Structure 1
């Protein structure tokens, strides 16, 4: 996951110096829920009976539930007591230790499963997998549980010193921003004139003939959604169109009675009464009478409600059958907009300001009018500061205001060179604005969000890649029937996007990609601090309570060794310190993730087999690696094994069938024969990737991989055959540069019933037309990429039966001269990309191509080569 070094941001906090600690502690509640969930599993129940520790585990569960209950109350009070902060740190360490003990039961259950499956026919396998004497194991585990219970009991008792209250569910009261109002001075707003005009158009048009429709302004905190709504609310066209205008800031309070009171209070020309004394029935009667016969505009500012029932309850009251009445909503939540049945055309995604508008806004707040011309040096520094703000108006205004009437060059340079979180901020500042969204996240999303700190800044993040980390760390809930773990991760990514945390989100079908706004990334780094830490020359100490370490430089491996309870370690590129690796493996026995991306080691220590908790082992691009010890196959918990780019690896280790938890296997190897039979029994396997396995000639002979969801074949120059029937359940298939591969894959006239959602065919000179197995996914295929297929001459007429196709990309196929005539049948096709196909582009170029009319229904038709020009 960590492929590029990322500079650690400085943390010169002023007003919010305690914030990173508070945010890290907010992850505790999820840890507690996770451990309690594991205590309820069948594996733990069976182990407790076998080891005779059932009552001890029940006691552990009860004490954990008590502590879990007060965590939410503790989070609110941490700033009041350093003793409480220390108590929470001890709780965190204890819950981590408890999780290790509980996971050990799962390890033992998996080990027994392998022994029972293969041990009876092979004493060698039984010896290979056997652990210490069962009696010794039982005593050791009983001792650990007793130690955990002793510590739990003390911490549970100590809670009374802090007056903590037990809260059974996550019902924390989230900080709510101040109530908004409708007044705005347009001269103080920059760069939103176009947005205002577009929304005014949506509000004044009556083309849909609905009695009540909704327009939603959606975007992340700090974008200026409320300011934009104010501009719209006060526009003269709105005054002329609507007889009645009402402004209500609903925020987190969407309880019907309270919203009715707010609307009544906002309606003009009413005799002021204390509506708090009215019953709900009286309130709804009053409001309906007030609205009847009037075309109205109601602004619901800062809406967070994601409960459809609450919206429908309100809508029934305010919908008084007056044609053209509108509701304008501002929200950070796509889900909140969706439950209001907002049409896609009426969902307005608010973007960031342009560089020019950002600078103009900055100058308004940093200088008196025209004063910037007297300070050309400061102006140049200001341009660099504005770049940091990433087009977020609130950030621009906050930074500009902090520099007003300050003309010391060093002070400006300090702001430029330090993170904007260093600024003093009031409750309307950058950090509170973004933190409010974080506070609203359900507990299961918070650790997922924090883990983005492990990704390089400005990176395009692929969901399938981040999902392997989430699964290894236990962040993902179990999949539903027919779901893969990537499907589960995609749901969580979509939920984070729907809450406006992610940018550039794109769903490929079976996978997705996204980026993080720079300020959101900074927020992530601070949330993760103390839990996820980067070790570099400026930060060489191993934080005592950190669970996840990223080494940014190779020369740091000689520092004092980290504590033994680490969950993940990411070693830097070029890592060649085998002595450090041996020490790491021997001491950190509870590791879930070990990343050795682009290492220079030639072999792994045999002791790697002792990391029985390890779920993720990444050796990608370790080009000197020649062998893997067979002990790797002792890792029954291993979910991901990444050997891509290990070009000197002679063969896979013996005993691959023992890796019964393996979901993701990425391979580069020199071996000739692939162990098909060993792989066939891996019933958890979801993703297979073969890259530059130049000696492999065939795959999947006489087997069927029924659980496989993704298959990638890259640069396997000798590969000739892969039977499609062996992989018919996959969702994603990518084939790159496999010149000898028979692309029909044994599919003749009979088209298979498959579930492909995403297909990539790249650099395949043997491809003349599309293989028929693609047609078998007519009811599923969403994305199709064809690139570098220089002999592709035609696309079959059946292409237009792919009715769910959403994205179609054609690149570097110079002999492809036309598209099928019935392209209009692809009604779901929204994006068509054509590049490196000069004749094809000439015919179908938007507006001017001879055959443009055949594809004019597609929303986005473009040539990236022209865009670059």
Structure 2
């Protein structure tokens, strides 16, 4: 670096400056026209009930967070609550402050000071501002609304709380934030209030109020209503989206223009970047701009999944790992990235297993649009054939709707193969010739997924993908054996074989896959593991260990497996008892034996 006169470039500083410039434009006020708000009356009543309920009283002040992603109407809800007449009778002081600041305690204190005292703080020191805040709320029961908090620092928040605690018991702080992490940092109640979507009826009522001009003839409205409801369905019941679309269509005076707008919904992600949807994308993108660089690329990669797709956490983290987004030796980093994005509301609808661990998530349609926007032309999700690819495409996901046709790789796809790092093919039956072409052409692939792709054999040319780190051979494949050439994938980290329900054996030299860390396979048909399997010391995840003719249970100690370990006995071994003693698995609290129907099993245990 010194020889080339290079300097360290801190991307975190760039993200911080970008975020700071954006939040300067987001100053909010406490006023709202109540008649313009639809669908939040129940939310308002619940939170006002929490503000009045003595069980939410802390020693001095209680903090109630309202959480949800951008555009749900958190600020609008807080405004509704703030302007409710009952608050004036309950609290001595009701004040509003917008504080979307990071790492700038003086600015935050200045805004709180101005809110409480109605005086500017430009010429005041921090001590003077703190003294003014304490003097204003001392011995008063107050409600302070802090809108749009982003700062996740517990220390800075405790510093503010030390000032706010001088009010009377029963004082409340109402916080709005996009981040569950922030909510946990600031909240004092058992759980934050998670703001949900509008109902279909509420979305339509809001759209109808904004899109139709007064006095529109009923004969016109009948036809326009049908078109309008189809358009509203594409807004995902997000108030900001419904408002933006409704306001836009208010300026369209003909049925033809409404029909044209409906047809362009398929390219909504493109439209919202061009400004036709008002400020939807800037509002959503603000959350993205605040992310650290590693999380930005992880989120952008999610654009490869179809809308409303149930995304497996394990699959997603393994794909991130294949792209080099984190050190493969520490999968915990990938799990941390996933948890961070979930906590910041980029993901939704988490499904948990019986142990409470998140297994799958989904993305809201608008978050999916955001992912496609930030990914740009480098990532493409293709759902209709024929299709064209841009020259700079790096990640490709193909999800053809017609699963009955045998799909053949188009020339446009093969032409872009040199730079492509991900190729994810779902919902298609692929021709053997196309599979050969893909393997021959996409020599730079890091990830290849053939999930739900029907094929009977894996060509030997698979061994040419020397850079491949992730391979999913599908959920409906009928292969009975893997080619020996697969053992040449020396960089392979993740191998999904759990959908190969006819697979009888693994290649003899399978242990040459020295970097393999995650092996998921179907155990129903597989009768044995290759000899010397215990040498695969990089393995961290194995869906099941099989005791067979070539491999005994004594191979386990050499492996670095984590989590639950299932052992299946498929064949009697003459040294089974001594091998079990060598395995020394007494301390493994997550050990599970499957199919213990052999006469020696009790003796082994």
Q: TM-score, normalised by structure 2?
A: 0.85
Match runs of 1:843-854 below 5 Å: none
Query: Using the alignment, how far apart are the partners of 1:186 and 1:363 within structure 2?
Result: 17
Query: Using the alignment, how far apart are the partners of 1:289 and 1:370 within structure 2?
Result: 55
Match runs of 1:759-770 below 5 Å: none
Structure 2 partner of 1:309: 155
- Cα contact 2:298–2:325 (8 A) shared by 1: yes
Query: Using the alignment, how far apart are the partners of 1:409 and 1:427 within structure 2?
Result: 19
Which deviates further from its counterpart, 636-645 or 581-590?
A: 581-590
- Cα contact 2:230–2:262 (8 A) shared by 1: yes
For residue 276 of structure 1, give the secondary structure of its aligned residue in structure 2: coil
Structure 1 partner of 2:422: 568
In the alignment, is residue 355 of structure 1 matched against residue 184 of structure 2? no
Query: Using the alignment, how far apart are the partners of 1:700 and 1:455 within structure 2?
Result: 40
Query: Using the alignment, how far apart are the partners of 1:239 and 1:515 within structure 2?
Result: 41
In the alignment, is residue 702 of structure 1 matched against residue 551 of structure 2? no
Query: Using the alignment, how far apart are the partners of 2:514 and 2:362 within structure 1?
Result: 34
Q: What is the CA distance between 1:226 and its match in structure 2?
A: 0.4
Structure 2 partner of 1:512: 359
- Cα contact 1:567–1:591 (8 A) shared by 2: yes
Match runs of 1:173-184 below 5 Å: 173-174=18-19, 175-176=22-23, 177-184=25-32
Query: Using the alignment, how far apart are the partners of 2:304 and 2:587 within structure 1?
Result: 35
Match runs of 1:462-861 below 5 Å: 462-477=312-327, 485=331, 487-508=332-353, 509-535=356-382, 540-552=387-399, 554-559=407-412, 561-621=415-475, 623-668=477-522, 673-675=527-529, 677-689=531-543, 700-704=552-556, 706-709=559-562, 729=588, 740-742=595-597
Match runs of 1:237-316 below 5 Å: 237-253=86-102, 255-267=104-116, 272=119, 274-316=120-162
Query: Using the alignment, how far apart are the partners of 2:309 and 2:234 within structure 1?
Result: 16
Equivalent of residue 387 in structure 1, options 222, 233, 247:
233
For residue 330 of structure 1, give the secondary structure of its aligned residue in structure 2: strand
For residue 69 of structure 1, give the secondary structure of its aligned residue in structure 2: coil
- Cα contact 2:494–2:519 (8 A) shared by 1: yes
Query: Using the alignment, how far apart are the partners of 2:313 and 2:217 within structure 1?
Result: 45
Equivalent of residue 406 in structure 1, options 241, 252, 264:
252
Q: What is the CA distance between 1:495 and its match in structure 2?
A: 0.8
What do the CA deviations read for 1:332-360 (whole angstroms, capped 9, x no partner)?
A: 01111111143324x11000011111111
Q: What is the CA distance between 1:584 and its match in structure 2?
A: 3.8
Structure 1 partner of 2:311: 461
Q: How many equivalent pairs are there?
A: 579
Q: What is the CA distance between 1:521 and its match in structure 2?
A: 1.3
Q: What is the CA distance between 1:395 and its match in structure 2?
A: 0.6
- Cα contact 1:305–1:336 (8 A) shared by 2: yes
> What runs of 5+ residues in structure 1 fail to find an aligned partner?
1-57, 73-166, 751-869
Question: Compared with structure 1, are the counterparts of its residues 670 and 257 closer, same or farther at alpha carbon in structure 2 (3 Å cutoff)?
Answer: closer
What do the CA deviations read for 1:241-267 (whole angstroms, capped 9, x no partner)?
A: 111111110012562222222223223
Query: Using the alignment, how far apart are the partners of 1:222 and 1:168 within structure 2?
Result: 26
Question: Compared with structure 1, are the counterparts of its residues 326 and 571 closer, same or farther at alpha carbon in structure 2 (3 Å cutoff)?
Answer: closer
Equivalent of residue 236 in structure 1, options 80, 85, 90:
85
In the alignment, is residue 336 of structure 1 matched against residue 182 of structure 2? yes
- Cα contact 1:709–1:732 (8 A) shared by 2: no
Equivalent of residue 17 in structure 2, options 157, 172, 194:
172
Query: Using the alignment, how far apart are the partners of 1:745 and 1:410 within structure 2?
Result: 77
Question: Compared with structure 1, are the counterparts of its residues 608 and 727 closer, same or farther at alpha carbon in structure 2 (3 Å cutoff)?
Answer: farther
Query: Using the alignment, how far apart are the partners of 1:711 and 1:720 within structure 2?
Result: 24
For residue 112 of structure 2, give the secondary structure of its aligned residue in structure 1: helix
- Cα contact 1:367–1:405 (8 A) shared by 2: no
For residue 529 of structure 1, give the secondary structure of its aligned residue in structure 2: helix
What do the CA deviations read for 1:110-168 (whole angstroms, capped 9, x no partner)?
A: xxxxxxxxxxxxxxxxxxxxxxxxxxxxxxxxxxxxxxxxxxxxxxxxxxxxxxxxx97
Q: What is the CA distance between 1:431 and its match in structure 2?
A: 1.2
Query: Using the alignment, how far apart are the partners of 1:238 and 1:743 within structure 2?
Result: 72
- Cα contact 1:597–1:619 (8 A) shared by 2: yes
- Cα contact 1:214–1:342 (8 A) shared by 2: yes
For residue 458 of structure 2, give the secondary structure of its aligned residue in structure 1: coil
Query: Using the alignment, how far apart are the partners of 1:730 and 1:617 within structure 2?
Result: 31
Q: What is the CA distance between 1:385 and its match in structure 2?
A: 1.6
For residue 570 of structure 1, give the secondary structure of its aligned residue in structure 2: strand
Query: Using the alignment, how far apart are the partners of 2:361 and 2:591 within structure 1?
Result: 19
For residue 445 of structure 1, give the secondary structure of its aligned residue in structure 2: helix
In the alignment, is residue 69 of structure 1 matched against residue 6 of structure 2? no
Query: Using the alignment, how far apart are the partners of 1:396 and 1:606 within structure 2?
Result: 52
Structure 2 partner of 1:30: none
Q: What is the CA distance between 1:728 and its match in structure 2?
A: 6.6
Q: TM-score, normalised by structure 1?
A: 0.61
Query: Using the alignment, how far apart are the partners of 1:209 and 1:69 within structure 2?
Result: 45
- Cα contact 1:218–1:350 (8 A) shared by 2: yes
Q: What is the CA distance between 1:510 and its match in structure 2?
A: 4.7
CA RMSD of aligned residues (A): 3.6
Query: Using the alignment, how far apart are the partners of 1:720 and 1:417 within structure 2?
Result: 65
Q: What is the CA distance between 1:662 and its match in structure 2?
A: 1.1
Q: What is the CA distance between 1:225 and its match in structure 2?
A: 0.4
For residue 662 of structure 1, give the secondary structure of its aligned residue in structure 2: coil
What do the CA deviations read for 1:629-648 (whole angstroms, capped 9, x no partner)?
A: 32321222111222233345
For residue 152 of structure 2, give the secondary structure of its aligned residue in structure 1: coil
Question: Compared with structure 1, are the counterparts of its residues 623 and 279 closer, same or farther at alpha carbon in structure 2 (3 Å cutoff)?
Answer: closer
Question: Compared with structure 1, are the counterparts of its residues 523 and 308 closer, same or farther at alpha carbon in structure 2 (3 Å cutoff)?
Answer: same
For residue 381 of structure 2, give the secondary structure of its aligned residue in structure 1: strand
- Cα contact 1:704–1:727 (8 A) shared by 2: no
Structure 2 partner of 1:201: 49
- Cα contact 1:536–1:552 (8 A) shared by 2: yes
> What runs of 5+ residues in structure 2 fail to find an aligned partner?
401-406
For residue 556 of structure 1, give the secondary structure of its aligned residue in structure 2: coil
